[in-house]
Amino acid sequence: MEINQIQVYLESSDSQERLKGLTELRKYESEIAVPLLKTKQRDPEFLVRSFVAMGLGNKRTPEGFRILLEMMKNDLDYNVRAEAANSLSKFGAEAVPFLVEKFREDDNWLVRRSILAPLMDMPFPEALYDVCMCAIAGEDMTVREVAISGLGALAGTKKEKDALEQLLAFVSSKFWNIRWRTAQGLSKFDDPQAKAALNYLSKDENHKVVAVALEGLML
């Protein structure tokens, strides 16, 4: 699609046409795409703003970083904040302090999941440990579960000992889903304490916990 047609779509009163215009910008270089993405940063439709955040994450320019940071901090819709956080994670090390800060400030489950997930795949163990501890102390059970299994990503890092200590504390949890997540995390560790804990969990009353523990013992 020609750029003048994209501009027409972006100015349309129909949100579906605006979304189409934003999608077409994927084919253009950052110098063209980012200024146009910026024009829809405060679009009334949250889905349009989410597409803006997604597009800025794919283009990755200094201006895009600044806009994403603003969206992650200030947008009123948690879907947009979550998409902005996910896009910021693609910038790597420079985004990490802002993601950790946002995780502490914003207790929305989707925002937190959108920060926690990419950090598990990034080489910043201190940051991952910090957000996992924050999530475990939080009230949302789904985020807590992900954080517990996410501690396994710290195996082999400078935070391995701390992460293992945290996981071992959950082995006797009264909640089967917490024990299940604990077994997932422990499976990543090549440590006698982790193996002993997995052996204990392999005799759990819940078959899902048993399955994960046995699988972990075979690794």
Mean pLDDT of each 10-residue bin along the chain, 219 residues long: 94 97 95 97 97 97 98 98 98 98 97 97 97 96 96 97 98 97 97 97 97 94
**Closest-CA residue to 145 (of 177, 187, 108):** 177
Which domains are present in the chain? 1-91 (1.25.10.10)
- Residues contacting residue 149 through CB under 8 Å, at least 6 positions apart: 181, 182, 184, 185
Task: Write down the number of H helices and E strands in the chain.
Answer: 14, 0
Q: Quick one: pLDDT at residue 27?
A: 92
DSSP letter (8 states) at residue 157: S
Q: Are the CB atoms for 15 and 47 separated by under 8 Å?
A: yes
pTM score: 0.93
- Chain centroid to CA 104: 13
| CB neighbour list of residue 13: distance below 8 Å, 6 or more residues apart | none
Distance (Å, whole) CA 82 – CA 115:
8
pLDDT value, residue 178? 97
The per-residue pLDDT for 1 is 87
